[in-house]
Amino acid sequence: MRPTAKRRPAKPSSLRQDARAIFEAGLAAVRADEAVRRALRVEVTARGEVLACGRSRLALRPGGRIIVVGAGKASARMARAAERVLGRRIAGGCVVTSYGSAVLCRRVEIREAGHPAPDAAGAEAARRVGRWVDEAGRDDLVLCLISGGGSSLLPAPAEGLTLQDKRKVTAALLRRGAPIEALNCVRKHLSALKGGQLARRAAPARVLVLLISDVVGDPLDVIASGPACGDPTTFADARACLERYGAWRSAPARVRWRIEAGMAGRLPETPSPADLPTARVRHELLATNDLALRAAAKRARALGYRPLILTRRLQGEAREAGAFLAARAGESRADGRPLRPPACLLLGGETTVTVRGRGLGGRCQELALSFAIHAGEGTNACLLAAGTDGRDGPTPAAGAFGDGLVIQKANDLKIDPRIYLSNNDAFRFFRRAGALFCTGPTGTNLMDLMVLLER
Pairwise CA distance, residues 305 & 217, whole Å: 27
Residue finishing a domain among 286, 310, 328: 286
State residue 11's pLDDT score: 62
Same domain? For 207 and 298 the reply is: no
440 and 311 in a single domain? The answer is: yes
Type of residue numbered 2:
R
CA–CA distance, 413 with 111 (Å, rounded to integer): 44
Q: What is the rounded CA–CA span in Å between residue 433 and residue 431? A: 5
Q: Which residues is 143 bridged to in the sheet? A: 68, 208
Same domain assignment for residues 77 and 139: yes
> Do both 19 and 80 map to the same domain?
no
DSSP states along 165-185:
HHHHHHHHHHHTT--HHHHHH
User: What pTM value is reported for the model?
Assistant: 0.85
Q: Is residue 140 part of a domain?
A: yes
CATH number, domain with residue 361? 3.40.1480.10
Say how many Å lie between the first and final Cα of the chain, rounded.
23
Q: Give domain status of residue 364, yes or no.
A: yes
Nearest by Cα to 367 from 409, 430, 454, 431? 430
Low-confidence ranges of the chain (pLDDT < 70): 1-12
Mark whether 16 and 75 lie in a shared domain: no
Distance separating alpha carbons of residues 109 and 94, to the nearest angstrom: 5
Which of 286, 317, 346 is at the close of a domain?
286
List, for residues 1-49, the tens digit of each pLDDT value.
344 444 444 466 799 999 999 999 999 999 999 999 999 999 999 999 9
Dump the DSSP string for 316-380.
Answer: SBHHHHHHHHHHHHHHHHHH--S-PSSEEEEEEE--B----SS----HHHHHHHHHHHHH-TT-S
The per-residue pLDDT for 181 is 84
Residue range of the domain that includes 107:
39-156+192-213+281-286
Residue at 319: amino acid letter? R
**225-265 pLDDT, tens per residue?**
999 999 999 999 999 999 999 999 999 999 999 999 999 99
Q: Are residues 417 and 360 in the same domain?
A: yes
Report the pLDDT value the prediction gives residue 330, as an integer from 0 to 100.
81
| 206 and 316, same domain (yes or no) | no
Q: Is residue 344 part of a domain?
A: yes
Give domain status of residue 258, yes or no: no
> Are residues 388 and 442 both part of a single domain?
yes
Which of 440, 441, 437, 443 has its CA nearest to residue 22?
A: 437
Instruction: Kindly state whether residues 315 and 381 are assigned to the same domain.
Output: yes
Same-domain pairing of 69 and 196: yes
What is the torsion angle, in degrees rounded to the nearest 10, for the CA atoms of residue 420, residue 424, residue 430 and residue 433?
0
- Produce one character per residue of 67-105: b if its CB has 16 or more CB atoms within 10 Å, e if not: bbbbbbbbbbbbbbbbbebbeebbeebbbbbbeebbeeb
Helix, strand, coil share (%) of the chain residues, nearest 5:
40, 20, 40
Q: What is the CATH number of the domain that holds 209?
A: 3.40.50.10180
Domain-ending residue, one of 268, 286, 304: 286
- Residue 168: inside a domain, yes or no? no
Assess if residue 272 is contained within a domain: no
Residue 20 counted as domain residue: yes
| Burial classification of residue 308, based on how many CB atoms lie within 10 Å of its CB (0-12 exposed, 13-18 middle, 19 or more buried) | middle
Question: Does 271 fall in a domain?
Answer: no
Q: Do 85 and 20 have their domain in common?
A: no
**Co-location of 429 and 313 in the same domain:** yes
DSSP string, 192-203: SSTTTHHHHHHT
Q: What is the DSSP letter of 191?
A: B
- For 64, half-sphere exposure in the C-beta direction (CA atoms, 13 angstrom radius) is 23
- Separation CA 180–CA 174 (nearest Å): 9
Cα separation, 282 vs 277, in Å, equals: 8
Q: How many domains does the chain have?
A: 2
Neighbours of 172 (CB within 10 A): 19
